[in-house]
Chain A
Amino acid sequence: MVRSWDDKIFNTIVYVILGLCGLAAILPILYVVSVSITPFGEVLRNGGFILFPREITFSAYRTLLTESNIPSAFRVTVLITVIGTAVNIVLTGLMAYPLSRKNLPGRNVFLLMIVFTLLFSGGLIPTYLVVKSLGLLDSIWAMILPNAIWSFNVLIMKSFFEGLPEELFESARMDGAKEFRILLQIVAPLSIPVLLTVGLFYLVGHWNEFFQAIFYVTDRTLFPLQVVVREILMQSQQPLENAENMMPTQTMQMASVMIASLPVIIVYPFLQKHFTKGMLLGSIKG
């Protein structure tokens, strides 16, 4: 009797703290949503406390989508994300598959070449000079190529490929299939889970692209979403670009934050499983 009573108290405490953690994670985001759809006057009147706005307006979104450079930045980000992820997956897969063949001569040299980059890098300035000398500055490729392969993702994919049954490859080779065909028609379909996991990490990385843009791009028309949103957040005192005498009010700022984060927030819950799996795969390797 005492036992179950203790258990109940214990459970209640656990549930309450967990609930609080959940709320702590979601409330700030909900607050941003409600600020972004509440008329600014209303926000001021309520002392800023509006979780469930009484009046809803999408005018901030309308202004951003018609009178700022958010739409063009959105296009840049989508472009980087689509092209970038495709490049990432192809290059990473092409590299991981041969390295998963344990009898490949020189395999260790290639692996060392990859692992070493996890430990040491030339640093920002020398990398900038390489990008510059390739003539990539101020192009979308500057935001795609310098990070075309994440060493870690090669290792994750490689260890997944190593887990595929050897007999599959043997019998395919017996049938005279070329390696490229084996990779495309046998390995790839069996590797959907790892392709998804790795692909999603690349995808989110591109969507959140910020630093390569500020390092290598000065052409404003090529700025991705995150860079433009940060500008809007920073210039709370100055007029918004292309909009005369328009102060980016808090409403406007939060609307831009929502535009930049909504795709991730919407898509994420459906793909959560794959992200989690990737995290564990990665940490086992690391």
Chain B
Amino acid sequence: MRTGQLETNAPRMQPASQTKLQSALKAFWRFRAFYVMLLPGVIYFIVFRYFPMYGVIIAFKDFSIMDGITGSAWADPWFKHFQAFYESPYFSQLLTNTLLISCYKLIWGTFPPIIVAILLNECRIRWLKSIVQTLTYMPHFLSWVIIFGILLTLFSQNGGLVNRWIVEMGGESIPFLTSTEYFRSILVGSEIWQNLGWGAIIYLAAMAGIDPTLYEAAKVDGASRMRMIWHITLPGIRSIIVLLFVLKLGHLLDAGFDQIYILYNIQVYPVADILDTWVYRTGLQQLNFSLASAVGLFKSVIGLILVLGANRVAKKWGESIW
């Protein structure tokens, strides 16, 4: 086919391009059913995913609802809103909170699921294993509103179970959910609780892929279970651990909008307000669309760079490890 086309291509340019167009149309016609199927999805993506990417230009405009996206005047200078954000007291606070909460979650959240996966892998009683799996996976499906409710009964200052205990034992009640001192720990703790089991799934799958003869050989050599975990299981999942860690690094600016918005309150803004929550309040509650879009864009762009960088690193290491 290809050589035939080349021959006709060579002598005369005009008809050749016509046949090319024709064959493209023919191909299109042959696959028309597929394009019809794609149509609703493509429309969805253009309207709800790509229009907003165009709409982000309001970050460079003085947006007013009356004039619309195209009608609004350009900001002067074009980086006005970015500058305003950079010079505001929020800038360093939001960035610090976002990065700190992310890092805490990254550090504290990485190891518990690995430990649970190892324990599940070592568990020799099948029913125990499956019960523990079922129980620990479940919190993953509870919404943050539900988890907020659970946190309230356990930790709220008046009526929370923990504070009732503390008071009963003669202590002062502690405002776990409303003090800047404890709030980040609550965020990290509840996130670990939600994802302890669910996060273990992928490590468990990786462990299932480890060659069983390795364990048998180690057993013959008289290695203890602890040693086998250290020398066989952990090295077997090392690449997955590194990979997931790097990929999570790519989302460093996503400190968890859903969770924080639902759990936080005005008392803990100084330690809990992150870029996303601020964008929501500034944009949709104070209707300062341009400023909020500018901050959103700032976050998206840095996020994109981080994700691409992380993927590149992951791929590079992935190749050398696999």
Contact = CB atoms under 8 A, between A and B. Distances in A.
- Are A and B co-members of a single complex? yes
A31 interface: yes
Contacts of B44: 91, 145, 148-149
B103 interface: no
**Which bracket fits the contact residues of B?**
35 or more
Contacts, number: 268
A265 B138 contact: yes
B138 A268 contact: yes
Nearest to B69: A129
Interface of A is mostly: helix
Interface of B: 24, 27-28, 31, 33-35, 37-38, 40-42, 44-45, 47-56, 58, 68-69, 116, 119-120, 122-125, 128-129, 131-139, 141-146, 148-150, 152-154, 159-161, 164-165, 168, 193, 196-198, 201-202, 205, 222, 224-226, 247, 258, 261-262, 276, 279-280, 283-284, 289, 292-293, 296-297, 299-300, 303-304, 307-308
Which of the listed residues A7, A178, A179 has the most CB atoms from chain B within 10 Å of its own CB?
A179
Contacts of A7: 225
A123 B197 contact: no
B42 A257 contact: no
**Which bracket fits the contact residues of A?**
35 or more
A276 B205 CA distance: 10
Interface string A229-257: 11001001000000000000010011011
Given A18-B120, A91-B44, A257-B149, A269 B52 contact: no
Nearest to B112: A21
Interface in A13-46: 14-15, 17-19, 21-22, 24-26, 28-29, 31-32, 35
A122 interface: yes
A122 B279 contact: no
B34 A104 contact: yes
B41 A229 contact: no
A268 B48 contact: no
Contacts of B196: 21, 24-25
Contact of A123 (B201, B258, B297): B297
Interface of A: 3, 6-7, 10-11, 14-15, 17-19, 21-22, 24-26, 28-29, 31-32, 35, 47-49, 91-92, 94-95, 97-99, 101, 104-105, 110, 113-114, 117, 119-130, 133-134, 145-149, 154, 178-180, 183, 204, 207-208, 210-211, 215, 226-227, 229-230, 233, 236, 250, 253-254, 256-257, 260-261, 264-265, 268-269, 272, 275-276, 279-280, 283, 286
